[in-house]
């Protein structure tokens, strides 16, 4: 038995969670905060058999990979108004730990 800790962005958490549940994984979702940015993120706990770990990692990775996203920003223009411009930002990504589970009990 293994326990996967997956720290994902809040934006990706719902899709990652529902995709895991659709594939019959049990998932616990925790609202967490990154120590560096102090911004909210989501930590998923997934307890599963060793044989199902790789598939879980694929599911998590496919819905939380780092990717570029166009984001509109407002910039002051020369005539005192504001222009809308688009910048590319990196969003998503997952930090994953897989650990051995010594005991798994449901009491």
Residues composing the chain:
107
- For ligand 2BA, the closer CB: 24 or 38: 38
E strands, the chain, where? 2-8, 26-33, 40-48, 67-76, 82-91, 94-100
Round to whole Å and give the CA distance between 100 and 18.
24
Of 19-27, 36-44, 49-57, 68-76, which segment contacts ligand 2BA by CB under 6 A?
36-44
Does 40 bind ligand 2BA (CB under 6 A)? Our answer is: no
35 binds ligand 2BA (CB under 6 A): yes
- Single residue of 22, 24, 37, 84 touching ligand 2BA by CB under 6 A: 37
- Establish if 99 lies at the interface with ligand 2BA (CB under 6 A): no
Distant-in-sequence, close-in-space partners of 9: CB < 8 Å, separation ≥ 6 = 41, 42, 64, 91, 92, 93
- Give the nearest residue (CB) to ligand 2BA: 34
Task: List interacting residues with ligand 2BA (CB under 6 A).
Answer: 7, 34-37, 39, 41, 93, 95
């Amino acid at each position: 038995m293994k326990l996967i800790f997956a720290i994902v962005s809040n934006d990706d958490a719902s899709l990652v969670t529902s995709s895991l549940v659709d594939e019959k994984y049990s998932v616990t979702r925790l609202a967490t905060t990154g120590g560096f940015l102090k911004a909210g993120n989501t930590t998923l706990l997934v307890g599963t058999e060793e044989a199902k770990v790789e598939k879980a990692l694929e599911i998590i990775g496919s819905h939380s990979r780092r990717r570029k996203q166009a984001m509109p920003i407002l910039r002051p223009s020369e005539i005192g108004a504001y222009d809308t411009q688009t910048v590319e930002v990196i969003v998503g990504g997952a930090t994953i730990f897989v650990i051995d589970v010594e005991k798994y009990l449901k009491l």
